[in-house]
Amino acid sequence: MKQRDLLYEGKAKSVYRTEKKGRLIVRFRHDITAFDGGKKDVLQDKGSYNARVSAFFFKYLEKHGVKTHFVSMLDDRTMVVRELTMIPLEVIVRNVAAGSIVRNYPFKEGTKLDPPVIVIDYKDDSRHDPMLNDDIITALKLCTQGELKKVKAVALKVNDLLAGLLAEQDITLVDFKMEFGRQGKTIYLGDEISMDSMRLWDKKTGESLDKDVYRFDKGDVMATYNRVAKRIIE
């Protein structure tokens, strides 16, 4: 697969066209950002930890019947994916109250959310990703009602699969964010599922194993990503 022109440079990944129609290359960069890009750093090897964990999850999900954009890895931080028309939604599934849901609503941090809570935000940094509801989503024509129903069902299935897999490693999947896109009428899970997009807690110690270590200066971020990637993949 040959890399052609740069299509999009995001906060943490660069997306390139390829010589093959319908295939893109996503390079996970070593950039890390938080607070809508307000905090930024470049951390050695960060891209490969996230790319490898994402690839591992996408393969696991495909095996269990979830359609994802993952095609293959070119190297440890470069992924070949199916080209999607992205739906500008951040689909978040929460199993335990933490982060913005605790800041914005009267939830006590650490409260179990059963059944899981789905929160859908509008992916728009300039508006600080405001929360949507079903009516706003369809009024803005971000997707159809049928697509929204499908997205929510897939989000819950992914949550069940990943929460189960992580529990085997004594990790709680507190919450995580997904992005979906379409190719024709088919909806695929796109983007990444990594330590940047998940909130993970060690079941025994309660320690953060994700980007919160960076957001709140809780310790050595890359040492954490390295340990978590090993724990998940190996």
Write down the least CB distance from residue 196 to ligand ADP, Å: 8
Q: Which residues, numbered 23-52, are part of the site for ligand ADP (CB under 6 A)? A: 24
Tokens, residue 146 = 């049928």
Q: Which residues, numbered 73-102, are part of the site for ligand ADP (CB under 6 A)? A: 81-84, 86
Residue by residue, DSSP assigns 127-147 as GT--B--HHHHHHTTSS-HHH
Contacts of 79 (CB under 8 A, 6+ apart): 25, 26, 27, 28, 51, 54, 55, 70, 71, 72, 73
The neighbour count for residue 125, using CB atoms within 10 Å, is 11
Tell me the CA distances in angstroms from 148 to 15, 75, 120, 153, one per residue in order: 25, 34, 10, 9
From residue 133 to residue 172, the character string flagging contacts with ligand ADP as x (rule: CB under 6 A) and all else as - is ----------------------------------------
Q: Are the C-beta atoms of 128 and 100 separated by less than 8 Å?
A: no
Among 4, 6, 10, 39, binds ligand ADP (CB under 6 A): 10
CA separation for the pair 61, 55 (Å, rounded): 10
Q: Which is nearer to ligand ADP, 97 or 196 (CB)?
A: 196
Q: Which is nearer to ligand ADP, 121 or 175 (CB)?
A: 121
- Can you tell me which residue has the tokens 């709680």? 172
Write down the least CB distance from residue 136 to ligand ADP, Å: 19
Among 80, 132, 151, 190, binds ligand ADP (CB under 6 A): 190
Tell me the CA distances in angstroms from 136 to 53, 131, 132, 182, 209, one per residue in order: 33, 10, 6, 20, 34
Among 12, 79, 173, 187, binds ligand ADP (CB under 6 A): 12
Stretch of residues binding ligand ADP (CB under 6 A), selected from 10-18, 55-63, 114-122, 131-139: 10-18
Write down the least CB distance from residue 36 to ligand ADP, Å: 10
Q: Which is nearer to ligand ADP, 116 or 181 (CB)?
A: 181
CA separation for the pair 29, 48 (Å, rounded): 8
Give the footprint of ligand ADP on this chain (CB under 6 A). 8, 10-13, 15, 24, 69, 81-84, 86, 179, 181, 190-191
